[in-house]
A = this chain, B = another copy of it.
Amino acid sequence: MTAEPPVPATSSTAGEPAQRRRRDAAETRQLLLDAARQRFARDGYAATTVRDIADDAGVNVALISRYFTSKEGLFEACLRAAGDELRRTTGQTPADRVPEAIARHIADLGAAGLSSQLSLLLRSSGDARADEIRRGVLVRSSEQLAAARGWRPGEPGSEQLLLRAQMALAAGIGVAVLRSSIRLEPLSSATEEDLVGPLRDLVDALLPPH
Residues of A within 8 A of B (CB): 1-2, 43-48, 122-128, 131, 134-135, 138-139, 142, 159-160, 162-164, 166-167, 169-175, 177-179, 181-187, 190, 194-195, 198-199, 201-202, 204-206
A76 and B172 CA atoms in complex are apart in Å by 27
Copy number in this complex? 2
Neighbouring B residues of A160 by C-beta, 8 Å: 194
Give A142 to B126 CA distance when docked, in angstroms.
Answer: 28
* Contact A126 B44, CB 8 Å, known A175-B171, A205-B202: yes
Q: Is the CB of A202 within 8 A of B206?
A: yes
Smallest Cβ distance from A201 to chain B, in angstroms?
Answer: 4
Q: Which residues of B contact A131 (CB under 8 A)?
A: 182
Question: Which of B174, B185, B195 is the one whose CB lies under 8 Å from A173?
Answer: B174
What are 8 of the A-B contact pairs (CB < 8 Å)?
A: A1-B126, A44-B126, A47-B126, A48-B126, A163-B190, A166-B186, A169-B178, A198-B206
Chain B residues, CB < 8 A from A127: 1, 47
Main secondary structure of the interface of A (DSSP, over half): helix
With A131-B182, A138-B182, A163-B198: A124-B187 Cβ-Cβ less than 8 Å: no
* Given contact pairs A138-B178, A206-B198, A43 touches B124 in the complex (Cβ within 8 A): yes
Do B44 and A182 touch across chains, with their CB atoms under 8 A apart? no
Instruction: List 17 other contacts, CB 8 Å, given A44-B44, A173-B174.
Output: A1-B126, A1-B127, A43-B126, A44-B45, A44-B125, A46-B46, A46-B126, A47-B125, A123-B124, A138-B184, A142-B184, A163-B190, A164-B198, A170-B178, A173-B178, A174-B175, A204-B205
Known A-B contacts A47-B45, A126-B48; A170 and B198 likewise in contact (beta carbons under 8 Å) = no
| Docked complex Cα distance between A162 and B44 (Å) | 27
Note all chain B residues with C-beta closer than 8 A to A44.
Answer: 44-47, 123-126
